[in-house]
A and B are shown apart, each in its own frame.
Chain A
């Protein structure tokens, strides 16, 4: 309410960039804003995108940064002649696993338990958080370190644990930065891609006592290293996400570059790996396919620096795996959308998406942004996320880069139909019916066409959603020709 009347978010921790969002969409992305502000939040991708684009220099910089990652991916892809075949195999492995998920999860549980790992099952986000809480409380944990996990982001784990008086530190550098800024990540692999080094410099000066005006990434990374080492040395427990759970061995595989995940896991006596149930692969042999696809798709590296296989707890330590459903089993019954569960969270679709690059992850107002987020979000709340499948030109690039061949463009198209059918677009239905009538009648069409070009004040009605002048904000209308093609044809065709 404050935001709408005064265009200023009263949260004193809000940063200037957050204020830009407030101006156009009445919403602040600050996760700690009060509930009634949050309720109106981020409900419209177009509005958020418009705010993002206002700063031309910034959007160009953001777009160029992500395009560069896409180019690195292309170079890496072209070093693997069997790349397209690998994608086919990966897609089939995942489809097979999902079709047999129940049996595979039971086998995985059995094998993990035989390794000395405690396996827990969480029906939803709340259950996950409660299970984690239980494990931590059991051992009087006070300080927790966490490496990158979009699943824990989905479950809101950090906010929950903080409300229970735990200190929880995100140890991935990008995640730590956004944790300090009290923002959600804007990209699933590059969480701070929307933040400039000067802003990190300012942040670290404020939070870590770093040198004023030193924005060198190497210096700043080193400041974070020192700071995070302290956290590692004081931690009682470590939480990680999981890239792949291997059924045949009961191990979980975590792929990182910084070393932070392993520092936590191998220091802390209590270790928790949070895993979405869709993350299984049947055999070690299958892992090879995914390890070859993942980093190349994500960042253009042939492999991440660390591909850690966590199998048995270290002597004297506890290891837990929390298997999380939170809507995943429900997605299995959606025939046209279930392949979205194949996602290995590489982020390639975001890097290639021309809309994502020019609107930023926060514009999607969902844990996972970009093309994959736009087909996942409606499975959780169709009405709330009805804007996302339309945040696309259906250019098809995302489907081409997806290492597990999820048919994202097709699913975007299908969601649009489902959203209209569910009545979320009732405002448009009347004009669509009228357009249909017009376009099925050559006579009506011809007359309308004449009216249209004579005035050239309207785009074809079905191209308009709002006032005609939306087109003309940034573009000229086409010049009206003297005769239509049909007029010419009638005169000249024998």
Chain B
């Protein structure tokens, strides 16, 4: 099987081009905060301030807070054995690594999560990143990521969504119904 495929590939080898040189990184990025915020809002994310955070905390019962950026002791995950038990979380607050201005995405790594499913299974999600941790585009983003540091990583660019029914945009598909972003200094 493996041998057959490798043999077939060897037989059909051909001469192709070299891997291209390219550099689309942005050398002197400006206005990262404004551009990130605009991209995030275009993707239906909310940029949070203290008031909005307090509103969220007041609104929801089952809150899990994994971030030290927000001073709030939510529920403990102590005693949870399997990810299947996490179906009742109203709001998850967690830290992200950095944000990308061109698309409002935030890079998150699994090492900051006791269970990888948490950012997907919570009804609502808040991610905290530092204002100084913003990059311009995906080229800058991948330059910043070290693949050795995670077992699972994800760019999260907004609340879950779909347009599968007659191309009508619905915010809140199967993952979180909202994404709040806290940009701290």
Contacts and interface: CB of A to CB of B under 8 A. Distances in A.
A contacts B: CB pair < 8 Å: yes
Interface of A: 65, 68-69, 82, 85-86, 88-89, 92-93, 95-96, 98-102, 105-106, 115, 121-123, 127, 171-174, 177, 190-193, 195-197, 200, 217-218, 220-222, 224-225, 228-229, 233, 248-249, 251, 257-260, 262-263, 265-267, 277, 282, 284-289, 291-292, 299, 301-314, 323, 325, 329-330, 332-333, 335, 338
B165 to A, nearest CB: 4
Contacts of A105: 5-6, 9
Contacts of A258: 160-162, 173-175
Contacts of B12: 329-330, 332-333
Contact of A303 (B4, B13, B157, B161): B157
Given A266-B115, A308-B154, A102 B10 contact: yes
Interface of B is mostly: loop
Contacts of B10: 102
Given A217-B168, A266-B120, A311 B152 contact: yes
A266 B104 CA distance: 24
Would you list the 5 A-B pairs with minimal beta carbon distance, nearest first? A259-B175, A99-B16, A312-B151, A266-B117, A174-B164
Contacts of B164: 172-174, 177, 190-192, 221
Given A217-B170, A305-B158, A93 B19 contact: yes
B8 A329 contact: yes
A190 B5 CA distance: 32
Given A220-B165, A251-B147, A312-B151, A332 B13 contact: yes
Interface in B47-94: 83-84, 87
A123 B17 contact: no
Nearest to A106: B6
A221 B173 contact: yes
A305 B159 CA distance: 7
B5 A329 contact: yes
A380 to B, nearest CB: 15
B120 A263 contact: yes
Contacts of B172: 221-222, 225
A193 B164 CA distance: 7
Contact of B157 (A106, A195, A304, A332): A304
Interface of B: 1-2, 4-6, 8-20, 22, 24, 39, 43, 83-84, 87, 100, 102-105, 110, 115-117, 120-121, 137-139, 141-143, 145, 147, 150-168, 170, 172-176
B52 to A, nearest CB: 21
Contact of B167 (A65, A307, A314): A65
A285 B25 CA distance: 11
A303 B159 CA distance: 13
B60 to A, nearest CB: 18
Given A172-B164, A192-B165, 14 more contacts: A102-B10, A174-B162, A217-B166, A217-B168, A221-B164, A259-B160, A266-B83, A266-B115, A292-B102, A302-B104, A306-B155, A306-B175, A307-B155, A309-B154
B143 A285 contact: yes
Contacts of B9: 101-102, 105, 277, 329, 332
Most chain-B Cβ atoms within 10 A of its Cβ — which of A174, A259, A299? A259
B163 to A, nearest CB: 8
A101 to B, nearest CB: 6
B153 A309 contact: yes
Given A121-B1, A233-B87, A68 B116 contact: no
Nearest to A172: B164
Contacts of A225: 172-174
Contact of A302 (B4, B22, B103): B103
Contacts of A314: 110, 115-116, 151-152
Nearest to A86: B24
A200 B165 contact: yes
Contacts of A123: 1, 4-5
A99 B5 contact: no
B24 A99 contact: no
B48 to A, nearest CB: 18
B174 A263 contact: yes
Nearest to A281: B19
Contacts of B143: 285
12 contacts: A65-B166, A88-B20, A93-B19, A233-B84, A266-B83, A267-B83, A267-B117, A289-B139, A291-B155, A301-B43, A303-B100, A309-B154
Contacts of B39: 302
Given A197-B168, A248-B147, A308 B152 contact: yes
B145 A221 contact: no
B117 A262 contact: yes
Contacts of A248: 147
B143 to A, nearest CB: 7
Contacts of A289: 22, 24, 139
Contacts of A68: 167
A257 B147 contact: no
B15 to A, nearest CB: 6
A95 B15 CA distance: 10
Contacts of A95: 16-17
Contacts of B117: 262-263, 266-267
Contact of B24 (A288, A303, A309): A288
A45 to B, nearest CB: 24
Nearest to B10: A102
A311 B176 contact: no
A487 B39 CA distance: 65
B149 to A, nearest CB: 10
A92 B17 contact: yes
A97 to B, nearest CB: 8
Nearest to A313: B151
A311 B147 contact: yes
